[in-house]
Every structure is written in C-alpha cells, then in structure tokens.
Structure 1
Amino acid sequence: MSFKLICESLFSKINPISLKNVTSGASNFYTSAIAAGKINRMKDRTALLRTVVKKEDGTKGATSVDLDSVIQNQQFQRFPDIGLPDRTFGDVAFKNLPVCHIRVSKNNTIVSVTDNKGKVLAINTCGKEGYKNCRKGTNIAGQATAITLSKEALQKGIHTVKVVVRGLGPGRASSVKGLQMGGLNIVSITDATRVSDNPPRARKARRV
C-alpha cells in the first residue's frame, strides 16, 4: 500500500468534531496567553509606580511639627523682640550671623549661605546633587541638597545661621530639616515668600 493511501485512510477515520475541539482549544489557549501577558504588564507597571517618590505640595511636611510641644519642652520664642539684633549666639551678634537662603519652587530647590552683607559663601542645588528631571522637585532631593551644603559650610567655619525660606514646593520643610541634620545650628526661620496685594487679573471663564 502506498503512502498516499495510508494518509487518506487515516484522515478519513478522524472525526471532524474532534478537529473542531482541537481548534477551539488552541484559540482558548491563545486568548488566555494574551490575558496573562496583559496581567503581567499591569503588575510590572504597579511595581514601577510604587518605586516613584511621592511628591508633596510643600505644606504637608511643614504641618507635621507640633509647635505646642516644642514650646513646652524648651525655651522657644515665636516672634522677635526689640533686643534680638544685639543678642549673641556663639559670641556673634544676631545681626552679624550668616544667612542661609532656601529658594523653593515646584521643580527645584536652591540652598545658599551668605554673610550678613549678602556675599555668597556656598551654594548648592538639586541638579548639582545628582537629581535629574522630575526628581529634582522632591522633598528627598531638597533634604540631600541641604545636608551637602551644611557640611560645606561647616568646613568654612560656619556653625550658626539664620534661615530665610522663600517660595512653595516639596523641599520647603525637608531642606530646613536637612540643614539641621548636617550639623548647622539654626537660631531663626523667616518666611520671605512673596504675596501680592494686587495680583494680576484672572483669565476669563471657559465657555462650555
């Protein structure tokens, strides 16, 4: 018997219903494989989103300090008095202390130390610290920038500073904490954020 006749006899014995079951099973396997791939991609995306640093609006970290407990535990002066400029901190008058300026924005944090006349002695930013793109606008970047600058200031003999904060952003509270973690002694914190008494006119309402 020839090979052609053997093949024809075998295919004639196969039930067409069983062939349909095989094809339907293959299609079900194909669709299940596609669904499994989509699920795996969703799991990878969620894992990636968990590693992204959560951004703050600049006010969450500032409200986490309980000022009432600080006032009760230690001698704390909330507002300056008339004799503050001549008061000494580490054998240096308050008016002659170096000033640490913190410029905060939504996308970056710039920290600099100047003398009492405004001459810049040290400066550091989130970009110089190694953070790129959107990671510059995080509270962790602001804290790391302040820690590095405080160490540089200590090497130059600066131990006690006044802090002036300007602007709103994620690094607003964390940069002040970073200065303290770096070893600087902070005697005052001033908020110099600009607030307009006559802001520009708002845009017209959108017509829907």
Structure 2
Amino acid sequence: MVKQIRKLTIKKAKWKASDGIVYIYATLNNTIITIVDTSGRVVSWSSAGICGFRGARKASPFAAKTAAEYAARQCINKGINRAQVLVKGLGTGRHTSIRGLQDAGLKISLIRDITTTPHNGCRQPKRRRV
C-alpha cells in the first residue's frame, strides 16, 4: 500500500484595507518611508539607500521623492489607495516625499507633523574654560 502525500498550500492573505498610514522619517542623512494599514501591519517600506543612492546623495530631495514613489507603488498594488501622512524629522526630504506619494497616485487625506521637541531636554555640557 502506497500512501498518498497531500500537498499543503498556504494561501496568501489579501489586503482588504483601502486606507493606510504613511510614516516619513526624514533625517539629515536619509529618508525612510513606511506604509502600514489601519491595523498597523507594514505593507511596504523604502528608503533612499534602497533606491540606489549612496553617501551625500541619500540626503537629497530627489532621493526622498524616488523612495516615496517606490513605496507608494508597492502599496497601491496591494490595494491601498488613500492614506494619512505623518512626517517626523528635519531632513530635506520632507516636502518632496509627500509630492512623490501624490505623483505615484496615492490620495492623501491628512498631513501631520509628529517631530518631537524637547522641553529643555538634557543638561548642557559644562562651559569650556581656556
């Protein structure tokens, strides 16, 4: 008697959400874009370094726009068409990455700045006496 072996197939879950949240983290050296659905699962992400930019070119606005378009195209293919944008950081790619999301076809419903500001922060180092 020969036993028949069943093939186990794993079905991929389809994205049913049409809304998402875009997190843009713009530092002075790079721009990182993460797109999540409403439950918090990461749908797509990108950065200027992933798009092929190296060194000082990663900090450019063009690199930020390219990274935003790449991440937006991935999430549009998965079914997310509308998103809220939360921007954090002081980098040069803040505004151009939002424009890149719009150029890729993502509809933006909200733009919010979530950059943290210190309320006096850490203690300053003592003054240098020369």
TM-score (norm: length of structure 2): 0.81
Query: Are positions 1:189 and 2:108 aligned together?
Result: no
Equivalences, count: 114
Which amino acid letter does the alignment assign opposite residue 90 of structure 2? L
**More strand by percentage:** 2
> Counterpart in 1 of 2:3?
none
1:159-196 residue CA offsets vs partner (Å, 9 max, x unmatched): 11000111110111111111011111001001111112
Query: Separation in 2 of the partners of 1:147 and 1:141?
Result: 10
TM-score (norm: length of structure 1): 0.52
3-state SS of the aligned residue for 2:117? coil
> Counterpart in 2 of 1:101?
23
Q: Contact 2:72–2:104 (CA<8 Å) still a contact in 1?
A: yes
Query: Separation in 2 of the partners of 1:195 and 1:187?
Result: 25
**More helix by percentage:** 1
Compute the displacement of 1:134 (Å).
1.4
Compute the displacement of 1:112 (Å).
1.0
What's the Cα RMSD here? 1.6
- Equivalent residue for 1:117, pick from 17, 24, 39: 39
Runs of 4+ in 1 over 4 A off after TM superposition: none
Which amino acid letter does the alignment assign opposite residue 101 of structure 1? Y
> Counterpart in 1 of 2:54?
132
Query: Separation in 1 of the partners of 2:87 and 2:23?
Result: 6
Higher relative contact order (CA 8 A, sep 6+): 2
Which amino acid letter does the alignment assign opposite residue 128 of structure 2? R
Compute the displacement of 1:151 (Å).
1.2
- Amino-acid identity (%): 35
